[in-house]
Structure 1
Amino acid sequence: MTSLPEDSSPLIGEDDRDTAVRRLQEAYTKGLLSHEELDRRLHRVLTAEAHDELASALASLPQAQPDTTSTIAVAGGRIRRRGAWRVPRILKVGSAYGRVRLDLSRAIIEHPVVDIELQLGTGGARITVPRDAVVEVEDLHAGWKDVRYKVRRPSRPGGPRIRISGTMGFGRLRIRHAWR
């Protein structure tokens, strides 16, 4: 059961803290925490400096069940996801024009296989995957530019399998593994 991503850095970011606060608030609204327990845990989360402190504040909460499919679509502009966001089993990303930035390096990935379906017109996409992820891009059709991805062996077994499919018009897809 994963409550927050493991990180070699001892410091936490605001995205991590916001995710923890949201989980505590959801538990309170479902009646899983008393008002006093919520206050105590919120204080621990808001004063936490390391990931293990956040994890201990969320330890007894049931794991939130993510949606299995989610869609992010815009006609123009940027699509950006980063930090400790919860990755659905199937993520559909659509943009007529504009840049797409998906950073899964610190995301909460609860599925062994994640499918990312891209439907992009113009504009590039950059996807950062966890260090131990296995990436498949065979089902992606790039119209104008090639896909930039250097296949690497996972640093440790058991990482998520990220399958990227769909079509890209005039942009380039760049995929890289996170350093940590």
Structure 2
Amino acid sequence: MTDDRLPQRPELRVSHADRDRVAEQLQIAAGDGRLTMDELDERLERALNARTGSELEVLVRDLPTAPGAVGSAPAEVKDLVSIDVTSGSAQRQGRWVVPRAMNLKARSGNIKIDLTEAIIAHPLLKIQADVRSGNITIVTRPGIEVLMDEVSVRSGNTKVRVPRSPTPAATYLRVEVSGSVGSGNITARPPLRGFMDWLRRRPVRYPALPR
């Protein structure tokens, strides 16, 4: 009697981006005190040498994947954050808590709002922008939608570059920008690729999203 069952399909190999996402999650967990430095070093080495998804999954199985998960303190969301730059620069990046609204003033300086790793506890961010001859840059990722229909422009410009995604991403944060631009710029864009990623035509790599 012959066995007519189809052979099992081998597990798919992981990519550099998959390894990077797990490494990012491990580093965040170590920063939160969930892993010792020895544990971090061991798991990072295993992530670097992982070949399949199951080899990566076991490294983060005992770690929370989202801010606010069991054992995490809830994010404190401010109603309003104001940033006023004259000729210098200011930025928000990393694991910062996104408020409900922001007032951004750039006279001749630069403001950078990086949302790629931010803790987002509210689905809407309203930005009131006042740009004279400076620049405001909003760094986004798939799932973040930026609208600039309510911005008046004199001699400057506004631009929205939508992040590319291999699969459709549901919107989890909408950013509504209003205000005015004199001779400066307001730009929303995905992160810039490093030189080696650009040279090898690798897509933009994002930190792991909460699941």
Pairwise same-fold verdict (TM > 0.5): yes
The structure with more strand, counted as a fraction of residues: 1
Which position in structure 1 is the counterpart of 2:95? 84
| Deviation, structure 1 residue 153 | 8.6
Q: Would you say the 8 A contact 1:121–1:171 is kept in 2?
A: yes
Task: Output the amino acid matched with 2:128.
Answer: E
Checking the alignment, whether the CA contact within 8 Å between 1:106 and 1:130 is kept in structure 2 is: no
2:157 matched residue in structure 1: 146
Give runs of aligned pairs for residues 36-47 of structure 1, distance below 5 A: 42=33, 44=35
Identity of aligned residues (%): 21
Which piece of structure 1 moves more, 47-56 or 74-83? 47-56
Match of 1:171 in 2: 184
> Residues of 1 paired with 2:36 and 2:127: CA distance?
32
Q: Please report how far the alpha carbon of residue 59 of structure 1 lies from its aligned counterpart in structure 2 after TM superposition.
A: 3.0
C-alpha displacement at 1:152, in angstroms? 7.0
Aligned match of 2:197: none
Structure 2: tracts of 5 or more residues without a match: 1-18, 48-58, 192-203, 207-211
User: What is the one-letter code of the residue matched to 2:21?
Assistant: S
The answer for the alignment partner of 1:67 in structure 2 is 78
Structure label with greater radius of gyration: 2
1:133 to 144, 148, 157: 144
- 1:84 is paired with a residue whose SS is coil
Native 8 Å contact 2:141 2:163 kept in 1 = no
Shift of 1:69: 1.1
Partner of residue 31, structure 1: none
Identify if the C-alpha distance between structure 1 residues 45 and 69 changes in structure 2 by more than 3 Å, giving closer, same or farther.
Answer: farther
Kept after mapping to 2: 8 A contact 1:125/1:172? yes
Alpha-carbon offset, residue 16 of structure 1: 4.6
**CA deviation after TM superposition for structure 1 residue 75, in Å:** 2.4
Q: 1:55 aligns with which of 64, 67, 88?
A: 64
Q: Paired residues, what number?
A: 152
> TM-score if structure 1 supplies the norm length?
0.68
Q: Deviations over 1:122-143 (max 9, x none)?
A: 1222211221112211111222
TM-score normalised by length of structure 2: 0.59
Give SS of 2:179's match: strand
